[in-house]
Homo-oligomer: A and B are copies of this chain.
Amino acid sequence: MATQGEDHPYVPRDMKLPGYVPVILSQSTILSVYGVASLLVVSFMWILSGRFRKISKVDRLLMCWWIFTGLTHIILEGYFVFSPEFYKKKTPHYLAEVWKEYSKGDSRYAGRDSGVVAVEGITAVLEGPACLLAVYAIATKKSYSYILQVAISLGQLYGTAVYFLTSVLDGDDFAASTYYYYAYYVFANGWWVLIPTIIVIRCWKKICAACEVLEQKKTKTR
């Protein structure tokens, strides 16, 4: 039980993780739990949002996205941020297993890279709750709904940019294999590039249209 420095599946192989306990749950179990839980949350939100009056299908879809991404930020990423020793967890602690598994795609998680922790910290603590606020803002048609969605989405894009850039600058060699590189590091994070980009474009246009109207109204009043 002395140093177990290399008894882990991660790259770089010489990364020291004393006390590392191997992942117990299978990949399919870990993904299924996340998938089913997310599906339940999204279904719940879709049904609930249908009971509000005059909410468009697009807005209902957005509410589903915001509750899903918000809970992912708060629960999954929040656990990572405040559990520096997750890789030592012995019982099949689901959240620890998630990060042990994900670290195969990016070992900077197990290695506690400061760039990754900083981005995940901002995401979990600020953006997570803001996502839940976005659900409420869309449901109740608040005037800050669009700008809030732009703000969170830009934050997600900025975070992902820092996440990928720091990896490239540090040699882009943190995945246990090509499979994990593409499945976890590229594919999983890709959604947080694609969807925020679409949301920023949509809300940006809405805000511009609103500002245009306000400007015309001002000009008329003069």
Using CB atoms and an 8 Å cutoff, list the residues of chain A in contact with chain B. 114-115, 117-119, 121-122, 141, 143-147, 150-151, 154-155, 158-159, 161-162, 165-166, 169-170, 204, 206-215, 217
Contact = CB atoms under 8 A, between A and B. Distances in A.
Contacts of A162: 115, 118-119, 122, 162
A122 B165 contact: yes
A168 B208 CA distance: 38
A213 B155 CA distance: 27
Given A162-B118, A165-B121, A166-B114, A214 B204 contact: no
A219 to B, nearest CB: 10
A77 B51 CA distance: 51
Shortest Cβ-Cβ A-B pairs, 6 listed: A118-B165, A114-B169, A210-B210, A210-B214, A115-B115, A143-B212
Contact of A144 (B119, B161, B204): B204
Nearest to A167: B114
A215 B206 CA distance: 11
A145 to B, nearest CB: 7
B204 A209 contact: no
Contacts of A211: 143-147, 206-207, 210
A207 B210 contact: yes
A212 to B, nearest CB: 4
A147 B146 CA distance: 10
Given A122-B158, A147-B204, A213-B213, 5 more contacts: A114-B165, A147-B150, A154-B155, A154-B158, A162-B162
13 contacts: A114-B115, A114-B165, A114-B166, A115-B162, A117-B165, A118-B165, A118-B169, A119-B162, A121-B165, A147-B204, A150-B151, A209-B214, A210-B214
A204 B154 CA distance: 14
